[in-house]
Structure 1
């Protein structure tokens, strides 16, 4: 069973519908005590990092996520919140994935980075199974995780940034797999298949 963590900082329905299309019946949970009852979990997120992090802490999610031993994946802002810190609001995050989140240096390009973009696989992992050099996914972000040892896949927009990261049982996708058509569906299936 899949839990979708509802902290009030995400569009839950699009993520829920994406898993339902894969034959799953995810449950939206609002209490950290519920998390331990699920085989895997999703931390979605949109909005400002400092607001979302404050809600996580005040809601008691920090300890529950820290104690969780099964696959847990953050999407978009949810991925950023799993990292060590972010420049957006200059806040400490959950620290489950090594690395900092910084403002994208887009140069003359428009910010935020919004739309379809290619991916580059850095190393093989259960989460990257079936990814092809021609695959594109849908991004909406102006901050990103710097490329480091946790980076499985990167993207390029003014600079190279982490698109998929993983550390132990924690993972993140900077883009929106639930809005990324067949490629996103494959990546969500990879998450369902991932054994840690």
Structure 2
């Protein structure tokens, strides 16, 4: 199986590579369109600020490639947010794969939300064998509101979508690669899709 992690200079790449290796697979880091298109599975990571990450995607032409991919694609953290219609962070236009606008938590809560929180209302093969209310690791100040594409919910100030799915596109606000055995199970489920 060919697993490609999209390399656009805004990724938490090492921890994802190690998590995939622990599952017995090897991942390739690439920004090459042909290599990404030829992959069986694509992981779209992201750490940092939305507008500068989007700028990097546009510069490399990946902004037009990613929405056309036909194989299972997993966006993680900022990767998931960039797959949405827009983000309040840097007033950024996203890839519009998910029909939702990413917004900032209010100043009533500590941001970023950093640490472990529960996921529930799980609705996807991504969560096969995962119990409701498992704890996942999150670091974020912006979130996707609940919407039709939500496949997991988390509560921090309010309930929001901590995972999204539309067709072959999946996104997790949490970091499966930093969430221990449960996170690895989610990555294994993704690789089985």
Correspondence list, 1:156-195, <5 A: 156-194=155-193
Match of 2:139 in 1: 140
Match of 2:34 in 1: 33
Correspondence list, 1:72-151, <5 A: 72-105=73-106, 107=108, 109-122=109-122, 124-151=123-150
Deviation at 1:106, TM superposition (A): 5.7
SS for the counterpart of 2:90 is coil
Match of 2:61 in 1: 60
Whether 1:7 and 2:8 are equivalent positions in the alignment is yes
State the Cα deviation string for residues 163-194 of structure 1 (Å, max 9, x = none): 11100111100011000001101110111111
Note if contact 1:5-1:30 (Cα within 8 Å) is conserved in structure 2. yes
Contiguous gaps of at least 5 residues in structure 1: none
Residues 62 and 48 of structure 1, relative CA distance in 2, 3 Å threshold: same
Deviation at 1:134, TM superposition (A): 3.8
Contiguous gaps of at least 5 residues in structure 2: none
State the Cα deviation string for residues 121-170 of structure 1 (Å, max 9, x = none): 25x31112122124100000000111100000011111111111100111
Give the number of equivalent residue pairs: 192
Note if contact 2:120-2:134 (Cα within 8 Å) is conserved in structure 1. no
Over the aligned positions, Cα root-mean-square deviation in angstroms equals 1.1
Rounded to whole Å, the distance in 2 between the matches of 1:102 and 1:134 is: 24
TM-score (norm 1): 0.95
Note if contact 1:146-1:162 (Cα within 8 Å) is conserved in structure 2. yes
State the Cα deviation string for residues 49-103 of structure 1 (Å, max 9, x = none): 0000010011010121122101001000000001111000111100111211000
Q: Which moved more, 1:160-169 or 1:28-37?
A: 28-37
TM-score (norm 2): 0.96
Note if contact 1:9-1:47 (Cα within 8 Å) is conserved in structure 2. yes
Rounded to whole Å, the distance in 1 between the matches of 2:91 and 2:176 is: 27
SS for the counterpart of 1:127 is helix
Rounded to whole Å, the distance in 2 between the matches of 1:149 and 1:172 is: 14
Rounded to whole Å, the distance in 1 between the matches of 2:186 and 2:107 is: 26
